């Protein structure tokens, strides 16, 4: 299909199709916006700024494009009468909180794709020589490369206008339509089928789901909540990374990708890791200066088998990246469409984490670096006649955890982008420290075995070795555990004692239920020192069971339901347990034994009428607490 008439409807690229699908699902969401906000501390010419932005809009038709759907088929039209979306706002009476709130609102303000301009600007005037400048675009019309093209053109156009000179911007030979036409033809071509066969084989079998240790439960849908914490890699370490990478015949990009894959393996314990890596998607001539959705995602899979050295593992990653790049033209959204993986509403398909390498100063038409990284963490953008400091940059982030490497002339900056709904900042800071420790460990010894490379910072090591082992405390040596617990329950009855999954229990609730169970056990003729089996999944009921046993004076014997039958049989008979506390789905494991079987989930009606008062059973601190049966290998 070849489209040239600007008044005709146009097909969407595969990436745009996926964005349109997501927009139709949630048209009021701004989760797929690309947004940057800057602080300007000098007087600027607002009229010339507006004119420069208008010229950018005229140069790139996709900024003036609207999106529609007819009989289930999406298409795009160029709006020849589209106005520049630019607001000048009086913020002279705003405080910092109001400015922050405005930036947040603009960041997530949705675009109406059927009619809005696809580039929205705001200039908040704080004073005659101070402004906040924001720019937003929907991902369906842009990507990071496009974002940098726009800012570089703004620099050139505004500076030329100030100097009353002609701009040096070259004429754009190609259009985004040309890319769409090429991509649609490629998908059904021999080359497209060859690339598809590669990915079909590479992603065969059950795909891994990244199992991150969240601080909070995930919501039922992707939230698009995003925050970021960064770490500057000092120049000495950056030079060491480049030196080691060169010695190992990889780029620093591939070297740090391998570090991130190893980090995820060590952090999650998973042996199969899939990481998405964005590619510019501009492999054809003359696409470099076009604004549009070109970016493509390629999955890089790492399987951790045995315990190779990092050097050996890196060889595997290098080959994986090389092969993937040779087949990178196939759109990731087409891979998803053809593979039809099992989908969950609260996570993206196939890939759940991203590793990006962003050299912001290497984009098309950039002669001098437009961005500099300063030692205090500031990111300053040179706009020719003025400079501005980045306040925030929001790219598309549908992942709970992603790592971006920002490459600047002066430093390497590592960004950990995360979902604040599921991760606390303290957790991410520990991750960043661990990531840096892993880099340092591998740089020092590239032949280190991957399971021995450290992921602990010095602070974490000290905490584990010294702080956590400094557990000595003074307490009444003649008191039992349940007596100490009862005193806490009396002081803090409404405080949370237990939390598991989405369930909670206060100290009073736990003490009451444990007392009821203990009274039930006493009526079942449990005596101090009796051994009572307990076979429960990790749950609130498990703690109730243990506390009930010790309050009754018994000692508990933990029984793992996954053990072989003969092992369970030996434990029950050897310990001479008289009662087994379990749950309904495990009750069949204990058929045929003399011991009474009590299912804490289905038999609780027999217990709930018992007294909730603390018991007066004579139990001493030297009484037996539990009996643990271990395997021969562990003693």
Distance (Å, whole) CA 184 – CA 563 = 56
pLDDT per residue as tens digits for the range 213-260: 999 888 877 777 788 999 989 888 999 999 999 999 999 999 999 999
**For residue 456, what are the contacts with CB-CB under 8 A and spacing of at least 6?**
434, 437, 464
Q: What is the band of 634 on the pLDDT scale with cuts at 50, 70, 90?
A: very low
Structural domains in the chain, sorted by start: 14-176 (3.30.559.10), 213-380+393-464 (3.30.559.30), 481-606 (3.40.50.980)
Output DSSP code: residue 364: T
pLDDT at residue 320 tops 50: yes
Distance (Å, whole) CA 112 – CA 336 = 26
Distance (Å, whole) CA 119 – CA 58 = 12
- Going along 218-271, which residue ranges are E strands? 227-233
Residue 517's Cβ-side half-sphere holds a number of Cα atoms within 13 Å equal to 30
pLDDT at residue 620 tops 90: no
**For residue 170, what are the contacts with CB-CB under 8 A and spacing of at least 6?**
289, 365
pLDDT at residue 408 tops 80: no
pLDDT at 466: 67
pLDDT at 72: 85
Distance (Å, whole) CA 283 – CA 281 = 6
If we measure between CA atoms, which residue out of 158, 111, 170 comes closest to residue 133? 158
Q: How far is CA 67 from CA 2, 24, 26, 86, in A?
A: 19, 11, 15, 21
Sequence-separated contacts (24+) of 42-45 with Cβ below 8 Å: 42/129, 42/386, 42/387, 43/128, 43/129, 44/131, 44/385, 44/386, 45/161, 45/162
pLDDT at 364: 54
pLDDT per residue as tens digits for the range 410-454: 678 999 999 999 999 999 999 999 999 999 999 999 999 999 999
The C-alpha angle with vertex 156 and arms to 151 and 157, in degrees rounded to 5, equals 95
How does 77-106 read in b/e, with b if 16+ C-beta sit within 10 Å?
bbeeebebbbeeeebeebeeeebeebbeeb
| Out of 232-236, 334-338, 405-409, 428-432, least confident range | 405-409
Q: What is the band of 81 on the pLDDT scale with cuts at 50, 70, 90?
A: confident
Task: Answer for the pair 599, 587: CB distance below 8 angstroms, yes or no.
Answer: yes
Distance (Å, whole) CA 316 – CA 302 = 8
Q: Tell me the pLDDT of the chain averaged across its residues.
A: 90
pLDDT at 396: 66
Name the helix (H) or strand (E) containing 201.
helix 190-202
Task: Answer for the pair 131, 89: CB distance below 8 angstroms, yes or no.
Answer: no
Average pLDDT (14-32) is 89
CB atoms within 10 A of CB 118: 25
pLDDT per residue as tens digits for the range 505-550: 999 999 999 999 999 999 998 988 899 999 999 999 999 999 999 9
């Amino acid at each position: 299909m070849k489209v040239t008439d600007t008044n005709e409807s146009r097909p969407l690229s595969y990436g745009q199709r996926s964005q349109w699908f997501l927009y139709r699902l949630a048209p009021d969401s701004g989760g797929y916006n690309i947004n940057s906000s800057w602080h300007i501390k000098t007087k600027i010419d607002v009229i010339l700024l507006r004119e420069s932005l208008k010229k950018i809009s005229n140069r790139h038709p996709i900024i003036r494009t609207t999106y529609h759907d007819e009989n289930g088929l999406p298409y795009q039209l160029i709006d020849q009468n589209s106005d520049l979306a630019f607001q000048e706002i009086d913020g002279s009476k705003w405080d910092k909180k109001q400015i922050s709130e405005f930036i947040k609102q603009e960041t997530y303000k949705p675009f109406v794709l059927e009619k809005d301009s696809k580039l929205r600007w705001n200039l908040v005037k704080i004073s005659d020589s101070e402004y906040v400048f924001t720019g937003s675009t929907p991902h369906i019309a842009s990507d990071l490369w496009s974002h940098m093209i726009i800012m570089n053109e703004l620099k050139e156009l505004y500076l030329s206008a100030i100097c009353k000179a002609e701009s040096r911007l070259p004429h754009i030979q190609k259009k985004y339509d040309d890319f769409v036409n090429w991509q649609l033809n490629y998908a059904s071509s021999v080359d497209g089928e060859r690339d598809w066969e590669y990915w079909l084989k590479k992603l065969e079998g059950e795909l891994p789901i990244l199992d991150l240790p969240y601080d909070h439960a995930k919501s039922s849908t992707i939230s698009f909540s995003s925050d970021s914490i960064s770490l500057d890699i000092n120049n000495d370490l950056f030079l060491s990374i480049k030196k080691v990478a060169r010695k190992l015949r990889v780029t620093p990009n591939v070297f740090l990708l391998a570090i991130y894959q190893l980090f995820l393996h060590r952090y999650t314990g998973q042996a199969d890791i899939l990481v998405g890596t964005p590619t510019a998607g501009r492999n054809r001539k003359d696409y470099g200066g076009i604004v549009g959705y070109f970016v493509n995602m390629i999955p890089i899979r790492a399987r951790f088998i045995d315990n190779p050295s990092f050097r050996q593992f890196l060889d595997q990653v290098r080959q994986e990246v090389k092969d993937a790049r040779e087949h990178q033209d196939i759109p990731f959204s087409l891979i998803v469409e053809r593979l039809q993986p099992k989908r969950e509403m609260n996570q993206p398909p196939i890939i759940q984490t991203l590793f990006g390498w962003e050299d912001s100063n290497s984009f098309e038409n950039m002669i001098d670096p437009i961005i500099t990284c300063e030692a205090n963490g500031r990111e300053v953008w040179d706009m020719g006649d003025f400079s501005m400091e980045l306040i925030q940059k929001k790219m598309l982030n549908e992942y709970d955890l992603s790592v971006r490497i920002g490459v600047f002339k002066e430093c390497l900056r590592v960004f950990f982008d995360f979902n604040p709904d599921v991760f606390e900042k303290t957790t991410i800071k520990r991750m960043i420290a661990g990531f840096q420790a892993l880099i340092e460990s591998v740089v020092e010894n590239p032949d280190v075995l991957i399971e021995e490379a450290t992921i602990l910072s010095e602070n974490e090591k000290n905490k584990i070795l010294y702080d956590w082992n400094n557990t000595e405390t003074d307490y009444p040596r003649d008191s039992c555990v349940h007596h100490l617990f009862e005193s806490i329950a009396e002081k803090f009855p409404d405080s949370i004692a237990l939390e598991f999954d989405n369930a909670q229990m206060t100290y009073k609730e736990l003490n009451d239920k444990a007392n009821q169970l203990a009274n039930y056990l006493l009526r079942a003729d449990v005596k101090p020192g009796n051994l009572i089996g307990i076979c429960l999944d990790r749950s609130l009921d498990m703690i109730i069971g243990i506390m009930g046993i010790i309050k009754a004076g018994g000692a508990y014997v933990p029984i793992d339901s996954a053990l072989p039958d003969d092992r369970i049989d030996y434990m029950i008979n050897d310990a001479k347990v008289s009662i087994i506390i379990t749950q309904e789905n495990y009750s069949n494991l204990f058929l045929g034994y003399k011991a009474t079987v009590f299912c804490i989930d289905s038999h609780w009606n027999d217990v709930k009428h018992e007294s909730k008062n603390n018991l007066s059973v004579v139990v001493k601190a030297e009484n037996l607490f539990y009996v643990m049966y271990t395997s021969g290998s562990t003693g």
